[in-house]
Amino acid sequence: MEEPMIEETYSGFCKALNETRTVFCEFEEKDGKRILSSADCAYGACPHSKICLLMKQMEEEL
């Protein structure tokens, strides 16, 4: 049986776009841990990913 997809939204300031935005994220759950499978922003590829306060919310929940 396939695990259900978990969907979350996070809001905050995006340094790359220089504006407030909401990011929609999808997670898979494996061995009791959430793993980010997609985000509707350039998280990971964005040059600001390491200091992104918006996505830090998501990282704190993992």
DSSP result, 3-18: PPPEEEEEEEEETTTT
List residues bridging with 20 in a β-sheet: 13
How much is the pTM? 0.78
Alpha helix (H) residue ranges in 1-62? 53-61
pLDDT tens for the chain, 62 residues: list them.
Answer: 566 789 999 999 999 999 999 999 999 988 888 899 999 998 889 999 999 999 998 888 77
